[in-house]
Amino acid sequence: MLLTFFNIILGFAFDYMHGILLGVSRQLTTLWFDSKYHGERWYLGREIITIDKLLLQINTPVNITRPPRSVRLRKYWKASEYRNFLLFYSLPCLSGILSCDYLEHLLLLVQATYLLLKDDMSSHDIDVAEYLLKTFVSRFERLYGKCHASFNVHILQHAAQSVRNWGPLWCQSAFIFESHNGNLQKLFHGTQAVTEQIANSFSLFQSIPRLLSTVYDKSVKKTSTDFVDRMLRGYRLATNCVKKTNIIFLGLPTVRMPTPREAFLFREQGIDVHQCAFYSRAIINGNRIHSKTSTTLSRRINRAVVTEQGTMALVRSFVDVGFDKGFAFIDPVITAKFNMVKDRQTGTAFSGIVRENYISTDVKLINCNEIRTTCVYLKDVELVQNLLCIQPNKWEVD
């Protein structure tokens, strides 16, 4: 190479979208469910009905835009679906079905990926992830055979070092570029002079706001300007919303006096209120969250959250008391460790899932700033108890 000082291994960032999700994760699902492996110890094709029953009963939050699909449709899964399957669904759904050696082997990949996706990881987390990935790779050939130890499996050994050099996996993945490829596809039609079409369309799109500012005046009807705004954004703006510094309340509120318990909780925070506006939906940190009083969702559970202190909770309602910040009443969820899967050799367990012991009836009042993100609430699956899956960071979206 002419670039004498360029290290071809350390000089490139590891893309987990193609390396782990569309690489190793898709390879594993093929090995488990493709009928040509029907004679192997790891084959799960005869258990598809059972696995689908568990998988399709999972209720995801709205920031996971694609709900779980049958493993029979795995060839149509997007990278984000493989991410959700790997991190949230695979261990609960395959526990007791996939042979113990293979399930513990999968656990190593899940925990390592989860650690490298965190937005508050430590150097110890990276060291642990590196050890788990190297152990995963070393066992792969013994469990699945040398012929299946692909390049994607091998390159996992470099993922941790890539995170040390370049940052968490989520900030160096191809997800954002793939998303913008979709935007570029909307800027041209046909196959002729594609680059010129993109340049012209982009230039026109950039000019529209300036051109509109020259014709917008009081004589233009608001319905016309709203229509143009909606066409430019690609979606309708919310009409009923109240914006605070830490929250956007959505929909129409229910205005009432607080109950004695609610008033007591307000007084504990030094707030004396006689009337509150209660909302069932809100946007916090870019996440749309529903409360217990919301009736707009049927197939999703979108009120399970984790606070900045690590507390799991179910949102009861959002409250506007007239200040420039919002509050939320929550029902804390008392949790325990998820011990359904544990690797016997390394002692590893998955830290991204906790087991629900019970939901406390001792309602709490918190500032909406304290809500970090939503959780995946595995409810009504045929498990011993409900599970809460903690999303590793608040930056990745489907």
Give per-residue pLDDT as tens, 57-113.
Answer: 888 888 888 899 999 999 999 999 999 999 999 999 999 999 999 999 999 999 999
Instruction: State percent of the chain over pLDDT 90.
Output: 56
Give me the mean pLDDT over the 260-286 stretch. 90
Report the predicted TM-score, pTM, of the whole model to 2 decimal places: 0.88
Interval 198-217 mean pLDDT:
77
Find where tokens 């939901």 sit: 359
Task: Identify which of 245, 279, 263 has the alpha carbon closest to the alpha carbon of residue 367.
Answer: 245
Q: Which residue has the higher pLDDT, 294 or 385?
A: 294
pLDDT in tens, 128-183: 999 999 999 999 999 999 999 999 999 999 999 999 999 999 998 999 888 888 88
- Distance from C-alpha of 367 to C-alpha of 345, rounded to nearest angstrom: 43
Token pair for 290: 């529903």
* Domain extent listing, the chain: 16-178, 186-233, 241-390
pLDDT average, residue stretch 354-366: 90
How far is residue 320 from each of residues 131, 209, 328, measured CA to CA in Å? 48, 34, 9
User: Which fold would CATH assign to domain 241-390?
Assistant: SH3 type barrels. (2.30.30)
Q: Are 318 and 281 in contact (CB under 8 A)?
A: yes
Q: Please state the rounded mean pLDDT for residues 44-51.
A: 96
pLDDT digits (tens, 9 = 90+) for 208-262: 777 766 665 666 666 666 676 666 665 555 668 888 887 899 999 999 999 999 9
The average pLDDT across 384-393 equals 84
124-133, 271-280, 321-330: which is most confident: 124-133
